[in-house]
Amino acid sequence: MTTFNARTDRQLVRANARSRRHVLLALTAPRPRRRKATRPPVNVAFVIDRSGSMGGPKIGLARYAAERALIGLSPKDRFSIVAYDDHIETVISSRTATPKARQDALLRLQTVDARGSTDLHRGWSAGAAQVKDRLAKDGVNRCLLLTDGLANVGLTAQEPLAAFARDLRASGVGTSTFGLGNDVDEVLLTAIADAGGGHYYFIGAPEHIVDAMTSELGELLETVAREVVVDVKHHPALELRALSPVVDSAAVPGELRLLIGELVAGQNVELIIEVRFPQAPAGLATTAFFTIVDRDGVLKADGCTLAWQHAERADVDAQPRDRDVDRAVARIYAARARQEAVHLNRIGEYTDARHALRGVARRIRHYAGADTELNDLAGQLIAEETAFGAQMSELDRKNAHFSSANIQRSRDPDGHARRQS
């Protein structure tokens, strides 16, 4: 059963003033009623960095991760394998995942060894071409892009690479990224995954490559809804923006259209939307209508309407708060503060890193009242000032970025989908 609801932190808005409110959208994907329910086919490209820095156990474990992931595929699925450094090699062209094809892939994977520089864009492009050439129109199409370093050959800048991911997504091909070790650009790989409708995984040690890659493929195999979209209709005078890191595809006044992507069985997703109100007299009411749809009509859920009313200051200040919304908003802002602190720590701005955490902690405490969870979250940020206010190891920075990114995307600390208990 699909659940979908919308809540706001407060329903009264100050009259004749610019005000801001937050909306919490919560949805849960259905679980198949039958244990062996039909799933969409998967068409996946494994795109593996084989640059010189992947030498030693890294490349061996990358090969093994692809081997383990292939085990989960069935003959209705397709796969391909591309290896890249400054040269691109299609190790296995797109083919159905028959037992023989998987066995051939195991043999060919053994020839993949480390060498050269990192032409991430061309390697990724080659993998995407394999997926697009045999696009599964009724399935899930995805590139799994693994690297242990920076894109240092060819196209390397973040915005063009994110734009390429968006274009691929529009053509039906998603991208998930896997960053291995201390030299990866986690900001770039996160941006690519967000724009590409996939997920980013930070892999701190080579032995965790297998878990990350098989987990992502496992989620693809449990997909129950494709191309999920949340659509918001509202008065054009309202200003709405998503605080959660999702792509907004609408450029139409009075509409916010959020691209959620694929959902797996029982997945829980929370989205935070900020609403800014124009100045208006007391008594004026404003509404917004929220709906959720997917490509195949799997998600059966009614739309939700929220209403706000402009009121006098005393009434606005006296109204109760929805603490579940407050907590969800605070988690987003705390996670963003940690990511900012990671950046500031990396460039040696330790005082500014502390201030980034303390500023959000102060903001949370301003409306926390006696709420234990909100006060605990503010206290955690204050306690973390010590770590972020001095030189951190690169591994600690990357782990902090990764866990904060997952909080904002309704995923668990290891990057897995949150599921209905």
| Other beta carbons within 10 Å of 113 | 13
**Does one domain contain both 290 and 336?**
no
Domain boundary among 255, 283, 318: 318
The parent domain of residue 344 ranges over 323-408
Domain boundary among 206, 221, 236: 221
Tell me, what's the pLDDT at 155? 79
**Does one domain contain both 212 and 239?**
no
Distance CA 380, CA 387 (A): 11
Tokens representing residue 76 in the block: 């209705």
Residue 420 within a domain: no
Q: How many CA atoms lie within 13 A of 335 on its CB side?
A: 23
pTM, entire model: 0.92
Please name the residues in contact with 307: beta carbons below 8 A apart, sequence gap of 6 or more. Answer: 11, 285, 286, 287
Residue 29 within a domain: yes
Tell me, what's the pLDDT at 314? 94
**Does one domain contain both 131 and 164?**
yes
Tell me, what's the pLDDT at 420? 78
**Does one domain contain both 343 and 295?**
no
Tell me, what's the pLDDT at 354? 97
Residue 387 within a domain: yes
Domain harbouring 275, CATH code:
2.60.40.680
**Chain-centroid distance, C-alpha 206:** 22
Q: What is the mean pLDDT of each run of 10 residues along the chain (421 residues)?
A: 95 94 96 72 95 87 90 94 92 95 91 85 96 94 90 83 96 95 92 96 91 93 95 94 89 90 95 96 95 93 95 94 97 98 98 98 95 98 97 96 97 92 69
Residue 421 within a domain: no
The size of the chain, in residues, is 421
Domain boundary among 221, 238, 253: 221
**Does one domain contain both 106 and 180?**
yes
**Does one domain contain both 274 and 166?**
no
**Does one domain contain both 374 and 245?**
no
**Does one domain contain both 50 and 185?**
yes
Tell me, what's the pLDDT at 202? 94
**Does one domain contain both 169 and 126?**
yes
Residue 267 within a domain: yes
| Distance (Å) of CA 346 to CA 48, 187, 355 | 28, 13, 15
**Does one domain contain both 327 and 288?**
no
Residue 415 within a domain: no
Tell me, what's the pLDDT at 37? 60
Residue 418 within a domain: no
How many domains is the chain built from? 3
**Does one domain contain both 183 and 201?**
yes
Domain harbouring 188, CATH code:
3.40.50.410
Residue 417 within a domain: no
Tell me, what's the pLDDT at 1? 85
**Does one domain contain both 355 and 238?**
no
